[in-house]
């Protein structure tokens, strides 16, 4: 690893299986429910000054604020000057619930009843902008909108900024809340959602993804800066890559060509080889085409020695643009807890896929180099490479 790397010094999570990183980790090891993974007990009030303040933030922005608050608290605050703190925060869809509600208001009650907060609440960069405003980050603040790869791309962008000297500290992550009637109908009518209500990554009987919501934030600091202040370094982000399939607006390239290039480029960027990788956090959505293409891609990269694979979407469901950040948080926690989380919902591995070591039950491990994959509608591919900190 001869390039500048980023230290992860804080993690925050809001997910259907747990709010807060401890509850989230416990949830990853528990039996998941059936059906959509909605956060049913969400109360934004602990992170906002007043109910009015909370109402002026779309739900996806509320998730971002809560996750970032937890991450910064673990990091012990933001230790760089405000102009050296950046925000790289993604979403696949943005404030869909606000948009859907205000469209109804417009048609039912007239244009003058539309909220003046519609635009700042619905825009896809609202979460990142809200994080920047709340926590005083004055460096670059950008929103990555690459469908289900947004969270992974946001973390990759954060690493780039640190390497280029554009920031010492980056608040990186993504959030999503698209479980609205219209959003669900859209995914359902394109036959993307599971009819059985089960998330079954890589299973022979998988029939689509289970939609979810949530968000996660990682605090990334330039490694030498984090070491100089004596930070508790949780993990390292050592490489990333981004490619496009140029194949289809929703379906992945069948042989995983874009994913193969993405993983290989990420390994090259990290200065490691395929043989160094000990764990793969798969995109693993539970859709027939995606899982098969990802499995073929992993076989092409790793040959007959594919590292242990986990898809946490068996528990979390698919949180769309938030997925990559939530899964990066899972990788950090797996290193901290020295445990690979299981792939819930997997009963019978699809025999039409390459042979893989899929983690079915929580497995103790000696943390090592891990890749986390995300593949989004539009052919967007993202991979980040993470490693334990040896100090």
pLDDT tens, position by position, 325-334: 999 999 999 9
Is the pLDDT confidence value at 365 over 90? Answer: yes
DSSP run (H or E) holding 13: strand 6-15
CATH superfamily of domain region 6-387: Thiolase/Chalcone synthase (3.40.47.10)
Banded model confidence at residue 251, pLDDT cuts 50, 70, 90: confident
Q: What pLDDT digit, counting tens, does each position of 29-61 carry?
A: 999 998 899 999 899 999 999 999 999 999 999
**Residues 340, 342: Cα–Cα separation, whole Å:** 6
- pLDDT mean across residues, the chain: 96
Count of all residues that appear for the chain in the document: 391
Query: What per-residue confidence (pLDDT) applies to 48?
Result: 95
Is the pLDDT confidence value at 8 over 60? Answer: yes
Structure tokens at 298: 């992993």
Beta strands of 167-276 (E only): which ranges?
Answer: 169-176, 214-222, 235-244
Question: What would the mean pLDDT of 363-377 be, rounded to a whole number?
Answer: 96
Query: What per-residue confidence (pLDDT) applies to 254?
Result: 83
**Residues 212, 210: Cα–Cα separation, whole Å:** 7
Banded model confidence at residue 246, pLDDT cuts 50, 70, 90: confident
Is the pLDDT confidence value at 2 over 70? Answer: no
Question: What would the mean pLDDT of 90-108 be, rounded to a whole number?
Answer: 96
> Catalytic: which of 17, 148, 153, 198?
148
Structure tokens at 66: 């809560």
Structure tokens at 188: 């359902």
* 153 tagged catalytic: no
Q: What angle do CA 144, 245, 242 make, to 5 degrees?
A: 40
299 or 245: which carries more pLDDT confidence? 299
Q: What angle do CA 230, 235, 238 make, to 5 degrees?
A: 110
Phi, psi of 100 (to 5 degrees): -60, -40
Is the pLDDT confidence value at 1 over 50? Answer: no
List beta partners, residue 162. Answer: none
> Catalytic: which of 69, 79, 283, 380?
283
Q: Can you give the residue ranges of every domain in the chain?
A: 6-387
HEC-encoded secondary structure of 71-138: HHHHHCCCCCCHHHEEEEEECCCCCHHHHHHHHHHHHHHCHHHCCCCHHHHHCCCHHHHHHHHHHCCC
SS3 content of the chain, % helix, strand, coil (to 5): 40, 20, 40
Q: What angle do CA 82, 231, 87 make, to 5 degrees?
A: 35
Residues 6 or more apart whose CB falls under 8 angstroms from that of 52 comprise none
- Give Cα separations from 164 to 6, 159, 227, 293 (angstroms): 12, 9, 19, 33
**Residues 385, 371: Cα–Cα separation, whole Å:** 5
Predicted TM-score (pTM) of this structure = 0.96
Query: What per-residue confidence (pLDDT) applies to 315?
Result: 97
Q: Please check whether residue 324 is in contact with residue 154, taking contact to mean a CB–CB distance below 8 angstroms.
A: yes
> Catalytic: which of 69, 79, 318, 380?
318
Query: What per-residue confidence (pLDDT) applies to 293?
Result: 95
Structure tokens at 147: 């469908």
Share of the chain above pLDDT 70, in %: 99
Per DSSP, the three-state class of 178 is coil
Residues 6 or more apart whose CB falls under 8 angstroms from that of 34 comprise 197, 198
């Amino acid at each position: 690893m001869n390039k500048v790397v980023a230290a992860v010094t804080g993690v925050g999570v809001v997910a259907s299986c747990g709010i807060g990183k401890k509850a989230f980790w416990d949830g990853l090891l528990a039996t998941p429910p059936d059906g959509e993974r909605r956060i049913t007990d969400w109360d934004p009030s602990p992170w906002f000054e007043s109910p009015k303040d909370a109402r002026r933030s779309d739900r996806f922005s509320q998730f971002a604020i809560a996750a970032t608050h937890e991450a910064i608290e673990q990091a012990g605050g933001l230790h760089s000057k405000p102009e050296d703190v950046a925000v790289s925060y993604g979403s696949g869809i943005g404030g869909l619930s606000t948009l859907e509600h205000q469209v109804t208001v417009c048609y039912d009650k007239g244009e003058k009843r539309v909220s003046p907060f519609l635009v700042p609440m619905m825009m896809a960069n609202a979460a990142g902008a809200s994080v920047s405003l709340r926590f005083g980050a004055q460096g670059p603040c950008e929103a990555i909108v690459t469908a289900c790869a947004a969270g992974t791309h946001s973390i990759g962008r954060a690493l780039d900024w640190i390497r280029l000297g554009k920031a010492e500290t980056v608040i990186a992550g993504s959030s999503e809340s698209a479980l609205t009637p219209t959003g669900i109908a859209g995914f359902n009518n394109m036959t993307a959602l599971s009819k059985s209500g089960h998330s079954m990554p890589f299973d022979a009987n998988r029939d689509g993804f289970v939609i979810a919501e949530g968000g996660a934030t990682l605090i990334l600091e330039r490694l030498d800066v984090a070491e100089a202040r004596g930070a508790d370094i949780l993990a390292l982000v050592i490489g990333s890559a981004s490619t496009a399939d140029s194949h289809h607006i929703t379906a992945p390239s069948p042989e995983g060509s874009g994913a193969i290039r993405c993983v290989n480029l990420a390994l090259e960027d990290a200065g490691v080889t395929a043989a160094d990788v000990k764990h793969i956090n798969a995109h693993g959505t539970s859709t027939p085409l995606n899982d098969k293409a990802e499995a073929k891609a992993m076989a092409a990269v790793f040959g007959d020695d594919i590292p242990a694979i986990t898809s946490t979407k068996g528990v979390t469901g698919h949180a769309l643009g938030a997925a990559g950040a939530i899964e990066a948080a899972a990788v950090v926690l797996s290193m901290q807890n020295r445990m690979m989380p299981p792939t819930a919902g997997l009963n019978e591995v699809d025999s039409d896929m390459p042979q893989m070591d899929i983690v079915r039950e929580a497995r103790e491990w000696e943390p090592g180099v891990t890749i986390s994959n995300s593949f989004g509608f539009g052919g967007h591919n993202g991979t980040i490479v993470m490693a334990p900190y040896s100090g």
